[in-house]
Structure 1
Amino acid sequence: MNVHVNSGETLRAALAGLLDGLPPRQAAAAVDRLIANYRGATPTDAPILRDRADVAAYAAYRMPATFGAVTAALDAFADTVPDWTPATHVDIGGGTGAATWAVSATWEGQRPVTVLDWAEPALALGREIAEGNPALRDARWQRTRIAAGLRVESADLVTVSYVLGELTEEVRTALVDAAASAAQAVVVVEPGTPDGYARVLAARERLVSAGFRIAAPCPHSGGCPIVPGSDWCHFSARVSRSSLHRQVKGGSLAYEDEKYAYVAATRFASDPAPARIVRKPQIRKGQVLLDLCEQDGQLARTTVTKRHGDLYKASRDANWGDAWPRTV
C-alpha cells in the first residue's frame, strides 16, 4: 500500500505545476469542453487532446482518477497472480501515462515500458511528468495511430484504459485483438457506466475467444450472468480531489468516488477469487448482506451473521470489489 501512496503523491506533485500560468477559468473551460467530447456518443477519428493547454488541464483533472481506478483493477489482478511480475509493459492509448504509473505502483522495480498514443501533446506531457517517477524515466512514448491494423510489440502486460469509448466498434475490436496477439496478460479498464461495462464485456468475450482465462474481477471465464440491460458490473475507487476538481465540479469534498469497469485476462495460470463482491455490502444489525459473483458463473446474495465468527468480522470490513471466500 505504501507504494501506492507514494506513487499517488508523486503523481499529484507532478501534476500540481501543470497549470502554472494558465488562468483557472481557462483551465476549467478546457476541462468542461473535453469532458463533453469524451462523453459524446460519436467516436472520433482524431485525437481529442489537441495541444498542451488541453492536455495540461485534462491531465490535472483526470489523471488522479484514472490512476486510482487502474491501480484498483491491477491490485485485484495482482492478487490472483502473487508470484508473477510483468517484465515488460505496453500501454495502448496511454495518453499522459496514468496506467503506467498504476503499473509501477502495483509491481515495484523497473521494466521496459512503451506508451502508444496518437496525440503527440499527450505523449510529450506524459514524458515530462514521468521524469518524477524513476520507474518510468526510460519509458518510450511512441506516437501511433490507434486504428484498424494496429500492431503491438510482444509484452508480458498490455493495458488498455479509458480509450475504447473514443473508438469505433471496428477499431475497438482491432485494438483488443492486437493486445491479445501481443500479450501474456491484458487489463482493460473503462468508466463504470453501462456503456463502459458493455465495452469491457465485449473485450472480455474476445479475449476468452483468443484463449485467455479471466483472472479478475470474475471468478470464472464463462458468460457474464448479468442480464443485458438490467444492470452492469462496476466498482468504485476513492480519489483525492485537486483544487481543479473542486473548481470544475463546484464541490467541497476532498475526495470523489471514481466508478470503473474492468477485466484482467491471462494466457498463464491464475487463481481467481472464489467469489467477488459486486455491490456495496449492506451492514445490518448482527448481519451483513453480500452480493456475489461466484465461480459457478451465477450471481447470489449471501447473509453473514455473528454465528459465522471470524467470517462475520471479515464481512463487516469487506468492500465492494473485494474477493470473498465461500460461506459455510
Structure 2
Amino acid sequence: MNAPESAADSLRAALAGLLDGLPSRQAAQAVERLITVYRGRTPTDAPVLRDRADVAAYAAYRMPATFAAVSAALAAFADAVPGWAPRTHVDVGGGTGAATWAVSATWDGTRPVTVLDWAEPALALGRELAAARPELRDARWQRARIGSGLGIDAADLVTVSYVLGELTESARAGLLDAATAAQTVVVVEPGTPDGYTRVLAARAQLIAAGFRIAAPCPHSAGCPIVPGSDWCHFAARVSRSSLHRQVKGGSLPYEDEKFSYVAATRLPAAPAPARVVRKPQIRKGQVLLDLCEADEQLRRTTVTKRHGDLYKAARDAAWGDAWPPYDGE
C-alpha cells in the first residue's frame, strides 16, 4: 500500500497558490455557502460547485479533509481485504478528485480511473491538479448528471463521497443502484446525524443488492444504534490551511474531520472483530474502549495492564480502529 501522508503532502503542494488572485472575501463567502450545503438538509438538482471561485474555494478548503476521510475509510477496507487492489476505479460526484487521490494513495500502481461530476469547472480543476500526481495523469474527467439515470460502467471500485446530501432520496437510490455494477462500493458522508442516516440507507441498499459489509461494521446485520439516540461516525485529523483559519477563526494548526462511511463488497472479506466507535479513554492503568462488536452489540471493554500486549495496543488504539488490531497494525 502507498502512504497517504506523502500523497497529502503532494495534494497540499498542488493546492498551494490556488487562491492567488481570488479576493479573500469572495473565497470565504464561497466556503461558507458550501459548508451550509454539505452539512445542511436541502438537496438540489443543480451542481453545488458553480464556477471557478466556488471550485477554488472548495479545493483549497475541503479537498484535504475529504482526502483524509476517504483515505481512512479505504484503509479500513484494505485491512479487511488484504492483498487486493482495484484494477479500475470510478469516482462518482468526484468533483476535483479528492477520493481519486485517496485511492491512488491507498493502493500501489496505476489503473483506469473515471471521475464523474456534473460541474465542468470542478472537473477542469481536478484535471489540472491531477497533473501533479503521475498515477492520475491519464484519468478521465467526465461530465455527467449525478443521480437517477446515471450509468456506471462495471468497475472494481466505485467511490461516492460527500455527494448523497446534494441529492433527493430517489436520486440517491438511483445512484446506488447504478453503483452496484461494481465489485466494491465505498460511500463517505459528513459525520453528522443526517450524514449517518444517508450512509445507513446506502448500507441497507447495498446489502439488499448482495454486498457484504467490510468496514466499519464487524457484521452485515442491522446497526445496533437505536435510531435517534446516537450516530456512527469517525474522525480524521487534517492540517489547517490559511483559508481554514480565516473562515473558522481558529488558532489550532489542525482540525478533525468528522465523517460516516460504509465499505461494501462482493469480494471475500474479513471484517474487524470489533470497531472502536468512540475516542478511547485512557486512565491510570486501564483503557476504556467503546466497541461495535460482531454479535450486533455496542459494548464498553476495559483493558488493563494485566492484559499485557493487549493493554499496550489499547493505549495506541484510535477512534475508528479495528479491535483487536489486525496482524501487523
TM-score normalized by structure 1?
A: 0.97
Q: Does the alignment pair 1:310 with 2:309?
A: yes
> Amino acid of the residue matched to residue 197 of structure 2?
A
1:92 Cα deviation from its structure 2 partner = 0.5
**Paired residue type of 2:266:** R
**Counterpart secondary structure, 1:155:** coil
Given that residues 240 and 255 in structure 2 are in contact (C-alpha distance below 8 angstroms), is that contact kept between their aligned partners in structure 1?
A: yes
1:145 and 2:145 aligned: yes
Structure 2 distance, partners of 1:221, 1:169, is 22
Q: Does 1:73 align with 2:37?
A: no
Q: How many residues are treated as equivalent by the alignment? A: 325
Q: Deviation at 1:36?
A: 2.2
1:290, distance to aligned residue in structure 2 (A): 0.7
C-alpha displacement of 1:30: 1.6
State the 1:277 CA deviation: 0.6
1:222 and 1:40 map into 2 onto residues whose CA distance is 29
Query: Who is 1:48 aligned against?
Result: 48
> How far is 1:149 from its partner?
1.4
Deviates more, 1:57-66 or 1:26-35: 26-35
The equivalent of 2:164 in structure 1 is 164
Partners of 1:190 and 1:38 lie apart in 2 by 9
1:254 match: 253
1:325 CA displacement:
2.2
In 2, the alpha carbon distance for the partners of 1:40 and 1:227 equals 23
Check conservation: 2:2, 2:107, Cα contact below 8 A. no
Aligned counterpart, 2:264: 265
Q: What's 2:203 paired with?
A: 204
**Match in the other structure for 1:37:** 37
Residue of structure 1 in register with 2:182 after alignment = 183
Q: How has the CA–CA distance of structure 1 residues 8 and 270 changed in structure 2, closer, same or farther, with 3 Å as cutoff?
A: same
How far 1:25 moved relative to its partner? 1.8
Instruction: Give how far 1:38 is off.
Output: 2.9
**1:70-109 superposed matches below 5 A:** 70-109=70-109
- 1:85 CA drift (Å): 0.3
1:19-57 CA distances to partner (integer Å, 9 max, x unpaired)? 111122221122112222333322100001111111001
1:2 Cα deviation after fit: 6.5
Amino acid at match of 1:314: A
C-alpha distance in structure 1 between counterparts of 2:121 and 2:254, whole Å: 28
* CA–CA distance in structure 2, aligned partners of residues 81 and 298 of structure 1: 23
Q: Which amino acid aligns with 1:230?
A: S
**1:17 matches 2:6:** no
Structure 2 Cα separation of the partners of residues 174 and 305 of structure 1: 48
Query: After the TM superposition, which of the residue ranges 65-74 and 12-21 deviates more from structure 2?
Result: 12-21
1:210-289 alignment runs, 5 A limit: 210-289=209-288
Give the aligned residue type for 1:154: A
- CA distance in structure 2 between the partners assigned to 1:278 and 1:32 by the alignment: 29
Structure 2 CA distance for aligned equivalents of residues 176 and 237 of structure 1: 25
1:4 is aligned to 2:36? no
Give me the whole-angstrom Cα distance separating, in 2, the residues matched to 1:305 and 1:37. 44
How many Å separate the matches in 1 of 2:261 and 2:147?
A: 22
What is the identity, as a one-letter code, of the residue corresponding to 2:147? A
**1: CA distance, partners of 2:205 / 2:228:** 20
2: CA distance, partners of 1:36 / 1:5: 29
How far, CA to CA, are the matches of 1:187 and 1:138 in structure 2? 22
Find the counterpart in structure 1 of residue 154 from structure 2: 154
What is the RMSD computed on CA atoms of the aligned residues?
A: 1.1
One-letter amino acid of the structure 2 residue matched with residue 99 of structure 1: A
Q: Percent identity?
A: 80
> Residues 101-134 of structure 1, C-alpha deviation per residue, up to 9 Å, x if partnerless?
0000000110000000100000011001000010
Where 1:60 maps in the other structure, the secondary structure is: helix
TM-score where L is the length of structure 2: 0.97
Q: Deviations over 1:36-86 (max 9, x none)?
A: 233332210000111111100111000000000000110011001111000
Provide the C-alpha distance between the structure 2 equivalents of 1:247 and 1:97, rounded to a whole number of angstroms: 24
Greater shift in the superposed pair: 83-92 or 28-37:
28-37
The AA in structure 2 aligned to 1:113 is V
* CA distance in structure 1 between the aligned counterparts of 2:52 and 2:214, rounded to whole angstroms: 37
- The answer as to 2:63 corresponding to 1:63 is yes
- CA apart distance, 1:3: 2.1
CA distance in 1, matches of 2:96, 2:2: 23
State the match for 2:117 in structure 1. 117
For structure 2, list consecutive stretches of 5 or more residues without a partner in the other structure. Answer: none
Q: Which consecutive segments of 4 or more residues in structure 1 shift more than 6 A?
A: none
Mapped to 1, the partners of 2:287 and 2:38 lie a distance apart of: 38
Deviations 1:179-219 (A, max 9, x none): 01x20000000000000000000000000000000000001
